[in-house]
Amino acid sequence: MSRVVLVTGCSTGGIGFALCNEFARQGCKVYATSRKVETIGEFSYPTVQKLALDVTSDEAVESVVKHVATVEGKIDIVVNNAGFFSAGPLIDQTMEDIKANFDTNTFSILRMTRAAIPFMAERRSGIIVNIGSIVGEIATPWNGLYCASKAAVQSISDVLSMECKPFNISVLHIAPGGIQSNISANGASRFSLPENSLYSAFLPNILQRINASQALGSMPTDAFAKEVVATALRKNPPLYLSTGAHTTLFAILKWLPKTWVLWLMWRVYSKKIIN
């Protein structure tokens, strides 16, 4: 019997879309979701079904999860991929942006797992896949909300991995590095510095940071999807997978003194000003 997979944040051009295609290629029945179904393009496989899902809505999450579980009789894998980043200095972020960022990147995972885990626990089987980021482990300037929200995702994955053990539910935390996707373009479209910003002189550095994940050497989305799906479909998936551009560097940096690492990150993303 094919596995049933529910993926959030599946707009065309993102990693969620590529993950859906790859799960379907591996013979899974896939439910691709997005706030607006029209943002999801056509998939290569007929076993992918599109659903509207606003991950910031308790009612919408509960309704979609229940629908999939009722129609299919189970949910084998939930991929919490929905997210966005609000670029710019932390103190320039509006409270509206701050709440929206955490609501989509972090609180949505709690909503999805609260809704899905009871169905998995009933069958003593299931996998939760949470998409975090390497910047959730090592912060960078000019993208603080994203770093903070993804750091919270790391903690959520760690705790869930322990608390799901009694029900034979696995948790796989993905910490992507640079992956070719539309995230930078979407972030840039929402970015603007306030007229009275203390950081106006750093605008070139902020733009540099917005586009950093799409620089030369970023992993193609399809290659990322193949590695993640292959890992998720293993009989005993690991707790953690980090792949994409710069992941080796960040793995090394985690072992170095934090003061030095933060100095390095600041140096990289302020060099036009301090040189």
| Residue among 29, 31, 50, 150 flagged as catalytic | 150
3-state secondary structure 152-215: HHHHHHHHHHHHCHHHCEEEEEECCCEECCCHHHHHHHHCCCCCCCCCHHHHHHHHHHHCHHHC
> 146 an active-site residue?
yes
Q: Which of 29, 31, 50, 146 is catalytic?
A: 146
Sheet order of strands, 4-7 included: 48-52, 29-34, 4-7, 77-80, 126-131, 169-174, 240-241
Block residue for tokens 């972090």: 106
CA 49 – CA 233 distance, rounded (Å): 20
Closest CA to 218 of 95, 116, 121, 134: 134
269 is catalytic: no
As a dihedral over the C-alpha atoms of residue 91, residue 95, residue 97, residue 102, rounded to 10 degrees, the angle is 100
The enclosing H or E element of 118 equals helix 108-123
3-class state of residue 217 by DSSP: coil
| Residues noted as catalytic | 146, 150
